[in-house]
Amino acid sequence: MRYQFVSICPIKYILDMELQSFPSQDNHQTEALEQIYEEIQREIEGLKLENDILRNYKSRLKAPGGLDCCALPAEGEKVTHQRQLPLKLMIEQKCEIAIKEQERVSQQSGEHRKAAETLADTLRTVLEETDIRISDLKKDAYEFKRDIVVGAESMRTGKTLAEKTTRYMEEKLQKRDGVIGKLRLKNSTIKTHLYKVELQMKQKEQTGDALHYIDFHQLQIENKQYQARIEDRNEQLLRLKMTTSKTVQALNRLKKTLNTLSAESGWLKLEIIARTKQLCKVSDERNTVNLDVASERNSKNLRSDKVEPSGLPSTLDYVSQKAHMYDLQATLCDWGRKTEIIDMAACNSQNVARKLACRKLA
């Protein structure tokens, strides 16, 4: 006798054997048997689901006396030699088990939902902190490039000045210390508030006044409101930081402009003093030259008056007078150039004084 391994469902195998044993049956009976087979399959699936639920319920059941009357033998357990009748659960027992399983699934889904919300809040907080850190790093990089890479570079050597770099780092460290102090104070405040809340919770637990669902829902609403306020305050703080940074940048630019104007004003004052002294000296020299020219003209007129109109000078006198005339002409040209230089210097000094007066008025 040969045995054949059957890999299909036993019920379907039995139905197939019955169909083969009655080959004269028509198609209607075949369809009816197939419908019966499908119904049996659905019942089997339902029974499997009930068995799984009952097995899970049994595994969680902690009865001190052992198994319940409605408990089934678990997989892998050995069956006793005595033959026992199969137990059937009542409708009430099935409903009770189903309700408990539903409560368990609801509790698990609630726990998963809470864990997901907590994780989402944590990730959202980390993302916001990361965005703030990225903006702070970009701002620090821009300020470092502006104040150190470009602003602290020496115009003469092309190298970065160590004093400005040291001062910049000291200011940054002072700001960082201030921020750390504020965060420590905030942390201590939050710890104190948390300690007070924990004490209140312990007191409520001791007095038996536990939080109900409505209280918890109210706390969630208040928490969302406080979070919205905190976000608004953080946005306001960020705007204030941006405004403060712009104000500090404008103040630094004005300080640089003021230092440049102060240095230029000092240089112009020294230049005015030097030009004033030079102008006084040139004026004195001009007066002296004018006096010399007037005296020379007077002496020339006197000499021309003393010469007799009828008599002619001798050849030697003519030559000497001609040479003296050339000398006087050369001297006159020199003094003319000197007076022109003096006039130009006086005009430049007047222009500089006029510009300083206009700047002071502006």
Give 332's contacts (C-beta < 8 A, 6+ positions apart): 293
3 state SS for 89-154: CCHHHHHHHHHHHHHHHHHHHHHHHHHHHHHHHHHHHHHHHHHHHHHHHHHHHHHHHHHHHHCCEC
Tell me: pLDDT of 2 over 50: no
What CA–CA distance (Å, rounded) separates 28 from 200?
Answer: 76
Out of 95-99, 157-161, 195-199, 357-361, the most confident range is 195-199
- Using only C-alpha atoms, the chain has a radius of gyration, in whole angstroms, of 56
Neighbour count for residue 308 (Cβ, 10 Å): 7
Report yes or no: 307 and 313 within 8 Å, Cβ to Cβ: yes
Q: What pLDDT score does 277 carry?
A: 92
pLDDT at 46 over 70: yes
What confidence tier does 239 reach under pLDDT thresholds 50, 70, 90? confident
Question: How far apart are the C-alpha atoms of 248 and 252, rounded to whole Å?
Answer: 6
- Roughly how many angstroms between the first and final C-alpha of the chain, as a whole number? 125
The Cα–Cα gap between 13 and 33 comes to 12
Higher pLDDT, 215 or 295: 295
User: Of residues 331 and 90, which shows the higher confidence score?
Assistant: 331
Distance CA 37, CA 310 (A): 171
Residues 138 and 143: their CA atoms lie apart, in Å, by: 9
Q: How many CB atoms lie within 10 A of CB 276?
A: 13
The yes-or-no verdict on residue 71 having pLDDT over 80 is: no
> What is the distance between the alpha carbons of residues 160 and 152, in angstroms, rounded to a whole number?
5
Task: Give the span between the Cα atoms of 274 and 278, in whole angstroms.
Answer: 6
pLDDT, one tens digit per residue, over 137-146 is: 898 888 888 8
Region 61-90: mean pLDDT is: 49
75: pLDDT confidence band, cut at 50, 70 and 90?
very low
**DSSP character string of 268-300:** HHHHHHHHHHHHHHHHHHHHHHHHHHHHHHHHH
